[in-house]
Amino acid sequence: MKILIKKGRVIDPKNDIDETLDIYINGNMIERIDRNIREKGSDIQVIDVSHHIIAPGLIDVHAHLREPGYEYKETIKTGTMAAVKGGFTTVVCMANTHPINDNKSVTEYIIEKSKSEGLCRVFPCGAITKGLKSEELSEIGEMFEAGIIAISDDGKSVKNAELLRRALEYAKLFAIPTISHCEDEDLSKGFVHEGHASLLSGLDTIPPISEEIIVKRDMAIAQYVGSPIHLTHISTEGSVEAIHKAKKGYKKITCDTCPHYFTLTDEATLGFDTSTKVNPPLRSKEDVKALKEGLKNNTIDIIATDHAPHEGSSKDVEFNLATFGISGLETAFALSLSLVHEGVLTLKELLKKFTVNPAKLLKLPYGELTPGKVADLIIFNPDIEWVVDKNEFLSKGKNTPFHGWKLKGKNLLTIVDGKIVYRDKIFT
């Protein structure tokens, strides 16, 4: 397929581009990026994207696609349908499937299933410990040979510090990142942030210290080993401060946060809406302010979705019984564009946290618009307003606290490997 995209504002943080250009795609590659490209032929699809923005495809370093084992929550097919609608062309799926992705057989299954049914690139993340039990290391070497791109016990912290140390040594050997879920399970038996809202609701709490002490522990172990560490879904002011300080002395620390953590506060849980139940929990106004400052000063390198789809029955129960998680792939980018509208980040700075920085973390040859590179890109408009309707989600997970919200900014077209995989009605 040949595609000529005309008159778009190209924003590419990797190459420091922000100007009106055309992009010519031949097969799966970007062949030319220039002004006023003229290519002739009946086999060329021309798309006029005047007044819209062309950017590299987004990379999500943290999502749950649920397959194998929890196909009633999500499948690789439906998860990647949601991803490309949201502007993501690459997704890293966490290991807490059933069976757990702690061996090469599960890794190979995910890769093959993604190739046959996925609409975007899917890279599996292998479990650090067998069964996510923090008792014995997984077969990290075998999983690496099979195709994992990172290791993580996400959903749980690695409680055994010696096991984490050994895992970091393996990750250093294979040059893959360790993605750390920072939570002391003995301090986090509750459901919501410990603060004013929890006093009003009476719900059991998860205090900020439960995250912050593991943030500090994991950074210390990584520095001792000399291995990179990536701290995921950071949610507290104390974590941001600790990471900011640690980065000054050790350069192999990166971290991400998620849109719901800089969009909502713990006050959203006062209505006992289980779609606001996430782990870590929604935090205070002060934490939200700190996260935005951390994004602005680059303490926080990446924005991830932590896409966690669930079937209705696991959310349509009492708050304390409901499962944790938000279905986030279809709203993440639009919510993050609020950072641009508020003046926290420029468009180029925001896109860097969705493209260049994730690609660097994972050592992927994506996240840029360069002739000779694979054609993964999106076309979006930061000013189009739309109303979130969970019933229109392509994900099986309809669990979102943003149903009915009016958002500003929308992905309109997604191209993966030179193929159009999502097209908004504006281009039909």
Span 370-423, pLDDT tens digits: 999 999 999 999 999 999 999 999 999 999 999 999 999 999 999 999 999 999
Helices (H), 152-254: 161-174, 196-201, 209-225, 237-249
**Amino acid making up residue 214:** I
Q: What is the predicted pLDDT for the residue at 40?
A: 81
Residue spans per domain, the chain: 2-54+373-385+408-427, 56-362
Q: How many Å apart are CA 159 and CA 209, to the nearest integer?
A: 15
State yes or no: pLDDT of 1 exceeds 90: no
How many helices and strands (H and E) does the chain possess?
Answer: 13, 18
Nearest to 74 by CA among 233, 322, 308: 308
Global confidence as pTM: 0.98
Sign of the dihedral defined by the CA atoms of residues 205, 156, 292, 398, in that order: negative
Q: What is the mean pLDDT of residues 272-283?
A: 98
**Amino acid making up residue 100:** I
| Contact status, residue 25 vs residue 47, Cβ threshold 8 Å | no
Q: What percent of the chain has pLDDT over 70?
A: 100
In which band, very low, low, confident or very high, does the pLDDT at 41 lie, cut at 50, 70 and 90?
Answer: confident
Structure tokens at 298: 């680059």
Q: Give CATH superfamily name and number for 2-54+373-385+408-427.
A: Urease, subunit C, domain 1 (2.30.40.10)
Q: Give CATH superfamily name and number for 56-362.
A: Metal-dependent hydrolases (3.20.20.140)
Span 217-232, pLDDT tens digits: 999 999 999 999 999 9
- For strands 29-34 and 17-26, give the pairing: antiparallel
Catalytic positions are 306
Q: How many Å apart are CA 39 and CA 181, to the nearest integer?
A: 49
43 by DSSP, 3-state: which? coil
| Contact status, residue 232 vs residue 154, Cβ threshold 8 Å | yes
Question: 125 has which bridge partners?
Answer: 150
H or E segment at 76? Answer: helix 76-86
Q: How many Å apart are CA 380 and CA 365, to the nearest integer?
A: 22
